[in-house]
């Protein structure tokens, strides 16, 4: 084979080695290509000087596709939101949160979302499709290669560094599990993107069969579960997926999830006034999580959400947290980042000029 017309990004070391064998090359050239793509982030075959000139010419006819930037917004707190366009015109968002000692990138796993969580703006977009491994990894590579962005590295200085990765952007990661698992293997590979699994967090609404499959995967990230209610009655209204996987089945899957060292399952709890923020809710939450190694992130509902929902008052948020911590349950109030550019949790909704869906239809029947 003299050339290729396929996409190289998203391929594993084994797949690239097999491609080299198909071309009549040695398998180790595939491993060299793998290191160049992911570890050194060389996306131009011409710069891969460890490869022969002949091989570089063959690779020049292959595709290495990053998403295209449509818009980048910077919030007052330094948070950066990227609106990215994929090859077929689908659009996604990812968010970089720079801090003094760490930099967290929040990436998307689907274009839109098929779930219908009432407090999430992304749900209003509807569902378009799953992202490929190339499109998942491409978000990371694009942001790291953004030369106009000054990022404080963990080691000091101003060179780009990524310390934490969260799969909490657009979409439900566990509905795209095959592509997410393949992406995770490349992210966590010391010869790939070299991110520690302990620094990668996957957030889910609680898809129980997929949670159990994730627990058996080669790379197991930190688990975060969006709970946001203490009774099935309330959670059914807020998160219709609860009708398929109610709270007790989710908590059992969390109890069975493998944890190492001081790892805990994180429960995300969006606080909404007079919906799920009462003292009784806090006490029920303590009882629900009593048997789990867990912690709770409390997130006051962010502005811009529909359906008449309102954020809990600061006083109510503090009272809710006091009840949890008073009973020995670790709980933290998460300060929203990037709210002025709609980059905070539940706010990803594309740019103002992008049409949003006005009717919200759940796709529960298609979710297994």
Query: Which residues are annotated as catalytic?
Result: 93, 345
Q: Which helix (H) or strand (E) holds 94?
A: strand 91-98
CA distance 245 to 362: 15
Pairing relationship of beta strands 91-98 and 80-85 according to DSSP bridges:
antiparallel
Q: Which helix (H) or strand (E) holds 247?
A: helix 247-256
CA distance 221 to 214: 9
3-class state of residue 118 by DSSP: coil
Pairing relationship of beta strands 68-74 and 103-106 according to DSSP bridges:
unpaired
* Residue 71 backbone dihedrals phi, psi, to 5 degrees: -160, 140
How many alpha carbons fall within 13 Å on the CB side of residue 74?
A: 6
The full DSSP string for 1-62 is: -----SB-TT--HHHHHHHHHHTT--THHHHHHHIIIIIS----GGG-TTS-HHHHHHHTTS
Angle, nearest 10°, between helix axes 314-326 and 279-288?
A: 40
Tracing tokens 């930190």 back to the chain, one arrives at 222
Q: With 0-12 CB in 10 A as exposed, 13-18 as middle and 19+ as buried, what is 230?
A: buried
CA–CA distances in Å: residue 236 to residues 113, 137, 284: 18, 33, 17
CA distance 289 to 363: 29
């Amino acid at each position: 084979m003299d050339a290729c017309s396929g996409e190289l990004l998203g391929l594993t070391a084994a797949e690239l080695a097999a491609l080299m064998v198909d071309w009549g090359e040695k398998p180790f050239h595939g491993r060299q290509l793998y290191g160049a793509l992911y570890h050194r982030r060389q996306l131009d075959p011409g710069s891969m000087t460890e490869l022969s000139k002949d091989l570089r010419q063959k690779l020049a006819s292959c595709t290495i596709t990053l998403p295209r930037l449509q818009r980048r917004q910077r919030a007052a707190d330094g948070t950066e939101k990227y609106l990215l366009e994929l090859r077929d015109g689908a659009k996604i968002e990812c968010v970089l949160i720079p801090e003094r000692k760490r930099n967290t990138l929040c990436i998307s796993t689907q274009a839109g979302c098929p779930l219908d969580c009432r407090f999430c703006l992304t749900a209003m977009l509807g569902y378009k499709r799953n992202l490929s491994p190339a499109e998942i990894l491409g978000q990371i590579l694009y942001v790291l290669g953004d030369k106009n962005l000054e990022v404080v590295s963990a080691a000091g200085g101003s060179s780009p560094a990524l310390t934490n990765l969260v799969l909490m952007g657009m979409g439900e990661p566990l509905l795209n599990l095959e592509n997410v698992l393949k992406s995770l293997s490349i992210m966590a590979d010391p010869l790939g993107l070299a991110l520690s699994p302990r620094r990668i967090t996957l957030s889910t609404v609680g898809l129980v069969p997929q949670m159990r499959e994730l627990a058996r995967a080669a790379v197991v990230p930190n688990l975060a579960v969006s709970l946001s209610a203490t009774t099935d009655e309330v959670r059914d209204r807020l998160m219709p997926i609860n009708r398929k996987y109610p709270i007790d089945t989710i908590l059992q899957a969390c109890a069975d999830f493998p944890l190492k060292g001081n790892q805990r399952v994180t429960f995300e709890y969006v606080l909404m006034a007079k919906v799920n923020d009462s003292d009784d809710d806090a006490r029920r939450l303590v009882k629900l999580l009593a048997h789990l190694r867990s912690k709770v992130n409390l997130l006051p509902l962010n502005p811009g959400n529909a359906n008449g929902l309102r954020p809990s008052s600061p006083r109510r948020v503090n009272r809710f947290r006091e009840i949890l911590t008073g009973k020995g349950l670790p709980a933290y109030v998460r300060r929203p980042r990037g709210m002025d550019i709609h980059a905070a949790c539940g706010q990803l909704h594309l740019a103002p000029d992008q049409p949003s869906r006005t009717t919200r239809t759940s796709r529960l029947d298609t979710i297994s």
